[in-house]
Structure 1
Amino acid sequence: MRLRPLILACLLASPANALTFQTRLERVEWQVEGDQFECRLVQPIAGFGRGEFVRRAGEEPIFRLNSPERWLGAGSATLLAAAAPWQPARSDINLGVVTVGDGDIPFNSSYLQAGRLLSGLLDGRSPVVRHRTLHGGEALEVRLLPARFGKAYEDFRGCTAKLLPVNFDQIRKTQIGFPSSDVTLDARGQAKLDIILQYLKADPTVNRIQLDGHSDNSGNRLSNRDLSRRRALAVEEYLLANGVPKEQITLRFHGERYPLVPNRDAASRAKNRRVGLSLYREPASTTAAVERVDSSS
């Protein structure tokens, strides 16, 4: 495999004769990036790209590599919290494998793996990825160094403290439950909506909300249809009272037609008394006007 001179200068020989990407110690730096949606703790890796700890709102951190050169071949790479060379009494900690795919970001670690890597860095260990190159299948090692990590980690924690409680994927489909035959939002339903409202205020790209009212099968068809309508209206009224524009809301009601689970007992019927809330990002010109749809008719 031919390597450009710049990249050759960044490759070191490991004990296993692997191609090793590692920034020189005196040039190691950690960078903190982010906003209320996502925080990143990054170390640039000379000739390779960068290693990143990424924490999205509502989630724990993950670890990943970002390599525009796409060095890693598909397969399973080994992830290590490697001991420092000057600590010969300590052994490396094998954190298991990650599945490598295509693209600039070939894998994401698990939350547990990322947490142990962060703990290892605080203890002087290096995150290490061992795998094979995409072309030629040569052994490859990517290593981050713990130098100057402590201050950057504190800045990263400061960033994560400002994250929203949830991300878009976690709330884009939400079920708001209703107790018994009631059509009034309870404290739990209001709490769910408050979290969604907090996100909506931070993310103006979400510009359409669809509300789908549902009932269980306890009553007759007409009363169930009316219950589902009134539940959807209750959620709509709460959103409107908290600043959501009316033209962004689409309202539908379905009665008992679409249960989440069969209405076999009290517990299952409780799951079916609900309003489904769906969030969308659409061009302003195509955002739907408010609808009143009885899909049971």
Structure 2
Amino acid sequence: MLKLIIASLLFTSSVYAEEFQAPVTDTNWNVIESPLECSLMQTIPSFGQAGFYRRNGQALQLKFITDSLSAEQDTVLLEMSAAPWQNTEQYDTLATLPTISGQREFIFDGVLAQQALAKMQDGRFPIIRYQSQSYNGDTTVKLSTVKFNDSLPAFQQCLSNLYPDSFDEIRKLTVYFESEKANLDKASINALTRVAEYVKVDDSVNQIIITSHTDSFGRKRLNMPLSEARAKTIRDFFVSKYEVPADKIVLRSFVDHDPAATNKTPKGRAYNRRAEIELVR
């Protein structure tokens, strides 16, 4: 009787191990192309979706995203199948990463994602194995290579066209002014051009805050209009040169009460004659 019970438990455990893969006859890749992000994703029935993703300024990612098969606190194994011409069922292990309870996204980035992408072009496919909260055995998910090479060129073209600056790289900028002047020099124009061009491609930027300052040189009643003129010069550059909507721009003007450096030296005052530009999402 005891043997029957043990056998029944083993059988039940093996039944609960599940494998997910898009059917050969209904495998599709969805390519999303924009100046800021590229994705090449495949729907995997009863699991969710998986594929490749890259945001500008970030590394390539291989992502498996499940709708309902959350992980236990354990590990997830990333493997690559053998190529069809190798005529073997062996798999190459690329990585083992820790998982947390309830995790629904499994992300492998950088070199791992690049390796997987390259191997898929040879007919190999990525596989993940992990313990889910829904089954006693392994949950195995395979990314199909069907139609992969048909969609890959569009994804690669998107990668090559990604905007060079990321939001984190461009969201804060400081430009400087000559004493008692509000005009932009060449370095400032180049820096502001990068910001304006980024704002044109990133619809998530809701505000551009321009905060201008003066040094302590001169009378305060003259420095306040000077500070305002510096902020307006930058605003006008964005609006007239790049058609940035004026209602996106917020101006804040100060004199010398928030110095970035000492006002006792020429070098310090040069740092204080500034305007700080911040992008807000």
TM-score (normalised: structure 2): 0.71
Q: Quick one: which amino acid aligns to residue 123 of structure 2?
A: G
The yes-or-no answer on 1:252 pairing with 2:246 is no
- Partner residue of 1:295? none
Deviates most, 60-69 or 86-95: 86-95
Find the residue that maps to 1:41 and give its secondary structure. strand
- Code of the residue aligned with 1:113 in structure 2: it is L
Conserved 8 A contact 1:39-1:160: yes
Listed one character per residue, the Cα deviations across residues 181-232 of structure 1 (whole Å, up to 9, x for unaligned) are: 57543444333322332333345564432111246x7858959877755543
Distance in 2 (alpha carbons) for counterparts of 1:31 and 1:77: 25
Q: What does residue range 170-185 of structure 1 map to in structure 2 within 5 Å?
A: 170-171=169-170, 173-178=171-176, 183-185=182-184
| Partner amino acid, structure 1, of 2:132 | T
**Counterpart code for 1:123:** D
In percent, how many aligned pairs have the same letter? Answer: 28
Once residues 270 and 99 of structure 1 are traced to their aligned partners in structure 2, the CA distance between those partners, rounded to angstroms, is 51
Deviations 1:252-286 (A, max 9, x none): 134455566899999998776643223345xxxxx
Residue 148 (structure 1) aligned with residue 147 (structure 2): yes
Cα distance, 1:89 vs structure 2: 10
Aligned to 2:133: 134
Q: CA deviation at 1:117?
A: 1.7
Q: Is the 8 A contact 1:72 1:131 kept in 2?
A: yes
What SS does the aligned partner of 2:108 have?
coil
Question: Secondary structure of the residue that 1:73 maps to in structure 2?
Answer: strand
1:261-272 superposed matches below 5 A: none
TM-score when normalising by structure 1: 0.68
- Count of paired positions: 263
User: Once the 2 structures are TM-superposed, how far is the Cα of residue 133 of structure 1 from its aligned partner?
Assistant: 0.5
Per the TM alignment, residue 251 of structure 1 is displaced from its structure 2 partner at its CA by 1.2
CA contact under 8 A between 1:79 and 1:98: conserved in structure 2?
A: no
> Retained in 1: the 8 A contact 2:224–2:255?
yes
Residues 86-120 of structure 1 deviation map (CA, whole Å, 9 limit, x = unaligned): 534976142342655747x5243323322222122
In structure 1, list runs of 5 or more residues that go unmatched: 1-12, 282-297
More RCO (CA 8 Å, sep 6+): 2
In the TM superposition, what is the alpha-carbon distance from 1:168 to its structure 2 partner? 4.7
Opposite residue 62 of structure 1, the aligned amino acid is Q
Tell me the distance in 2 between the aligned counterparts of 1:260 and 1:135: 56
Indicate how the Cα distance of structure 1 residues 130 and 257 shifts in structure 2: closer, same or farther if over 3 A, else same: farther
